[in-house]
């Protein structure tokens, strides 16, 4: 087998330079463990930004995928399949919504939410044509499409890709008063991450989402939660919003919905919101195809059967408890909910990058986010033994900063 250097060079020569990947070339994985092309073993504490919530190559996911691939792979939505209805029903029952629209990537689900919110605003709320507004939060990360980057406040995400979508109003995160002040007669929706992931695992005040829900209801504005990273157990509940006793009007989920095997996403909402999307106005050839239905249904069943929401709460609580005593000279703050944990360091982003390097040398794969913080997000079913292995490695790496 070629060396890691050869694989990295092939990507550099033939690929677009839009990623600054860490110099690890992974070859296989099982559960929370992965191995590179040179046989080195690591613990995966990124979980592909929550896409691998159930670990790598979960046997039930692999079985569902292969059985369906050997039966029927793709039909367009011009026809029905025997896998879609049960998948959508399970997703609605899991999240507490009335209807679901399947897409593929998280960004596609967010774009679907934006389109549905605008159309609902015109047809149900009576907003004047072409005047609908969507409120979002500063430092959000909802995706990379041209429509979605119109909501971004990151110069790196926006520069060179304008002109941007009109009708977008960013406000500070964790500021319900700012939401109330921003709403006008043209506001169709407020799109928010319950916990901001790429901004550094920013956990809002305990009453923030509940206050936002009350404001939106009073003003007839849709509260749409982006739960692509936080949902399906990552924050300790089927939806992170449920941990705050909030049921959003609509939600987008993805990543782990595909069991780490294929891209699957959903836009879920109340029936009156979903029903504005009539035949011909929106769709996707692969959205809800038989492989997605089979794998998505199995992923939702694993979430329930393996009690992964509670396991994330328990394991995440233990990790935070063990990491909190390190706050001090090197670590500014440990924060998070469930197994979505941020470790913010003092100083510049260079410090967190160095810690990532030291952890990799000790067999732990994680990555720093935009701020000077590490994202710690292992699979939800990680074993207690592997958690202890991580803690020993973390202490060793921290001492070398």
Catalytic residues: 141, 226, 255
List, edge to edge, every strand of the sheet that includes 265-269. 99-103, 265-269, 250-253, 222-226, 187-192, 133-137, 168-171
Distance in angstroms (rounded) separating the CA atoms of residues 98 and 247: 12
Closest listed residue to residue 123, CA positions, set 282, 277, 279, 280:
277
Cis ω before 163 (30° cut-off from 0) = yes
Rounded distance, CA 75 to CA 108, Å? 19
Do the beta carbons of residue 381 and residue 55 sit within 8 Å?
yes
138 burial class (0-12, 13-18, 19+ CB within 10 angstroms)? middle
Name, in order, each residue with C-beta under 8 angstroms of 171's C-beta and a sequence gap of 6 or more.
Answer: 135, 136, 137, 138, 178, 179, 182
Separation CA 343–CA 259 (nearest Å): 26
Q: How far is CA 378 from CA 56, 143, 233, 384, in A?
A: 11, 22, 12, 12
């Amino acid at each position: 087998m070629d060396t890691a250097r050869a694989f990295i060079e092939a990507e550099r020569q033939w690929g677009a330079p839009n990623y600054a990947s860490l110099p690890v070339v992974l070859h296989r994985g099982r559960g929370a463990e992965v191995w590179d092309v040179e046989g080195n073993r690591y613990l995966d504490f990124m979980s592909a930004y929550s896409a691998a919530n159930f670990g790598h190559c979960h046997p039930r996911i692999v079985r569902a995928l292969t059985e369906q691939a050997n039966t029927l792979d793709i039909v367009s939505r011009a026809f029905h399949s025997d896998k879609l209805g049960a998948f959508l029903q399970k997703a609605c029952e899991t999240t507490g919504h009335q209807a679901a629209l399947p897409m593929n990537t998280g960004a596609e689900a967010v774009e679907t939410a934006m389109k549905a919110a605008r159309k609902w605003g015109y047809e149900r709320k009576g907003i004047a044509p072409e005047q609908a507004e969507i409120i979002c939060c500063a430092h959000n990360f909802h995706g990379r499409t041209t429509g979605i980057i119109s909501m971004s406040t990151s110069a790196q995400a926006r520069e060179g890709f304008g002109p941007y979508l009109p009708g977008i109003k960013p406000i500070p995160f964790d500021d319900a008063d700012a939401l109330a002040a921003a709403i006008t007669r043209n506001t169709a929706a407020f799109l928010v991450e319950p916990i901001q992931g790429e901004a550094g695992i920013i956990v809002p005040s305990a009453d923030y989402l509940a206050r936002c829900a009350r404001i939106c209801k009073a003003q007839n504005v849709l509260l749409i939660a982006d739960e692509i990273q936080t949902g399906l157990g990552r924050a300790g509940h089927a939806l992170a919003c449920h941990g705050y006793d909030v049921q959003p009007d609509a939600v987008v989920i993805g990543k782990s919905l595909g069991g780490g095997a294929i891209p699957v996403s959903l836009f879920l909402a109340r029936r009156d919101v979903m029903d504005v999307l009539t035949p011909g106005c929106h769709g996707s050839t692969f959205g809800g195809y038989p492989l997605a239905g089979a794998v998505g249904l199995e992923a939702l069943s694993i979430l329930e059967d393996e009690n992964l929401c509670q396991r994330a709460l328990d394991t995440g609580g233990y990790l935070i408890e063990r990491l909190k005593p390190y706050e001090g000279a090197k670590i500014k703050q440990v924060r998070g909910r469930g197994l979505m944990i941020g470790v913010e360091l003092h100083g510049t982003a260079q410090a967190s990058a160095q810690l990532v390097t030291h952890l990799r040398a000790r067999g732990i794969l994680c990555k720093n986010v935009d701020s000077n913080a590490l994202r710690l997000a292992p699979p939800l079913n990680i074993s207690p033994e592997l958690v202890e292995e991580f803690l020993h490695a973390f202490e060793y790496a921290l001492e070398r900063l």
